[in-house]
Amino acid sequence: MSFKLEVIGFTIEGCILAQSAGASRIELCDNPGDGGTTPSYGFIKAAREKLSINLFPIIRPRGGDFFTVRKSLK
């Protein structure tokens, strides 16, 4: 049976380590204290330059829960 291992990456070093340990792809995140937010363009670009496996940046504009209230949409 074949499977793919996705690993969360908050640093370039962690991403490189995950790749060398056999990860199939990285979910790239920033701000671990907030539960993970969208990484900057620079972070994505640097990770892409260093990795040869699939890279998936998380799209999450803010930390906290996953609920949105109307006033935060303005």
Q: Distance (Å, rounded) from C-alpha 32 to C-alpha 26?
A: 15
Alpha helices in the chain (DSSP H): 12-20, 41-50
Tokens representing 37 are 């937010």
Q: Distance (Å, rounded) from C-alpha 51 to C-alpha 14?
A: 11
Q: For residues 31 and 74, which has the higher predicted lDDT (pLDDT)?
A: 31
pLDDT at 19: 98
Where do we find the tokens 């892409």? 48
Where do we find the tokens 């291992």? 5
* Lowest mean pLDDT across 1-10, 34-43, 46-55, 63-72: 63-72
Single pTM value for the model = 0.81
- What single-letter DSSP state applies at residue 24? S
Where do we find the tokens 């998936």? 56
Q: Domain spans of the chain?
A: 6-73
